[in-house]
Structure 1
């Protein structure tokens, strides 16, 4: 009953390479001159120049530069291919609140056989609408590997990935048709529309929390071996207050749990304007999921990272983060 035409691992490898268009060749460029210059050089096919422009900002902790360097190492452009180095850079950028880096990091972990660590990141990426993550999570739900069996959700996720142009998704849907009853496939169409609407809302909320004004435009379809045909849209620090959905607004305070004075944290965002970090904390500090934690601001490069620290374990921090994500608030677990 399992879909076995290709292994999930192999399909993840191929789907990750589709990013020469929307995920792998898309680059982020804030107002910092070196990062923008690197994106311009990359778009012109001058990959070594681009890498040289990004190294300084990356060493200073710039999340966009870290992400862009990870892309270069992942694709082997301007540097020798080095997946492990790409993994390190994705992790560092994700730790600084870079959403796309977190998505790619989760897929890379899965590809390398670390499914337990990867699945929370893949779920989050799928919830934001990443078709690669939707594809992997859909197969996981269908085969009951790394996720509970749920054929309706599996078919809905694969439908969305297929609509986004992921070639493997169409093949997988064809195989699912032999097993998933018609009534469940019809339910999946309604669920797909619901997931799509929720992902648009979640993506907007999380990108706002990262405090980046304009995200990358979709690039023209291209093979992984081709240079990008258009430059990514620049992202700029914004001084606008971060919009917060109603579900995130202040809730009545409850008695704080007696947490151990742990060092695990939940990162709530990375901000070019420190006041925005303070504003977001003022809205979230009374959320029960963060009860008993303390506000921590970490300065690095051009950003200030906001963390709620005080969780005794990674599991405790992940549970809190999962609760916040269900409310529409982006977050990642931060190591001590």
Structure 2
């Protein structure tokens, strides 16, 4: 899973000096201008003084090797310092680094904290672990809720995993999961969204291992589709399309797509001009007790 390249520009409340706030902002400006060495030079004294945002930013610099030599251990150390100050993005990044290093026991408490605060990458990993029950216990209701939250944040792999979960989790548990996802949405203290690359596509039956490549950002210029299910064969997808399209007027002028992804066949329909339009169509489809999620066109 990519860790992300976001740089935080918000001043920590514990440091009130105007000059420190200016240095933090100046570092952000230098980073955006490509002067990474200057950004690091501005942030380092603040990070040493305990400013969580500057600590997180140094972690990003060491992770990506910008302004300093790439050093995963230093990145992890700076993420940890910020995470211990309850910095949401640092908690997610630190947990993901531990996870990809194979320290799942150490990673999960941090990923759980980040998932509770609304980080979709952490929600994806924790949801996958709970679905698999590895480590136990298995909790399909909470797994479905977390994956629903991650999918709602347009994390493509979460959308795909949620559709696959529909094949295994009974309807009553999925409904409980959706209700729990709503409660999570009301209670979460969400971190600022990161322009981070999503975790690799993986079946919920397989543990999700974060990759280490830099973030690529969201693709632009594509339309939207709705995803209606995932099946073991194309015939089932075609039958569902005939059933749903006949019952839902919003799909009358839409094309359907049978998308092969390994052993899974996904049924999608579109195109829609925006995510809002796709979600509006999904809302009507879900009222017929069919799962539906908005996805980007490939």
Q: Find the counterpart in structure 2 of residue 38 from structure 1.
A: 27
Q: Find the counterpart in structure 2 of residue 194 from structure 1.
A: 183
How much has 1:162 moved relative to structure 2?
0.8
Q: Find the counterpart in structure 2 of residue 95 from structure 1.
A: 84
Question: Highest CA radius of gyration, 1 or 2?
Answer: 2
Alignment of 1:56-135 (within 5 A): 56-135=45-124
How much has 1:131 moved relative to structure 2?
0.7
Measured in 2, the distance between the counterparts of 1:69 and 1:98 equals 13
Higher relative contact order (CA 8 A, sep 6+): 1
Q: Which moved more, 1:39-48 or 1:85-94?
A: 39-48
Question: Gaps (5+ residues) in structure 2?
Answer: 12-17, 198-213, 218-298
- Cα deviations across residues 24-71 of structure 1 (Å, max 9, x unaligned)? x13134252221110111122222221121122222332221111001
TM-score normalized by structure 2?
A: 0.59
Measured in 1, the distance between the counterparts of 2:168 and 2:188 equals 27
Quickly say closer, same or farther: Cα 1:179–1:127, change in 2 above 3 A: same
Q: Find the counterpart in structure 1 of residue 251 from structure 2.
A: none
Q: Runs of 4 or more off by more than 4 Å in structure 1?
A: 218-223
Q: Find the counterpart in structure 2 of residue 281 from structure 1.
A: none
Measured in 2, the distance between the counterparts of 1:138 and 1:105 equals 18
Q: Find the counterpart in structure 1 of residue 7 from structure 2.
A: 26
Q: Find the counterpart in structure 1 of residue 206 from structure 2.
A: none
How much has 1:219 moved relative to structure 2?
6.4
How much has 1:147 moved relative to structure 2?
4.6
How much has 1:124 moved relative to structure 2?
1.2
Q: Identify the match of residue 145 of structure 2 among 156, 173, 176.
A: 156
Measured in 1, the distance between the counterparts of 2:156 and 2:141 equals 20
Aligned residues: CA RMSD: 2.3
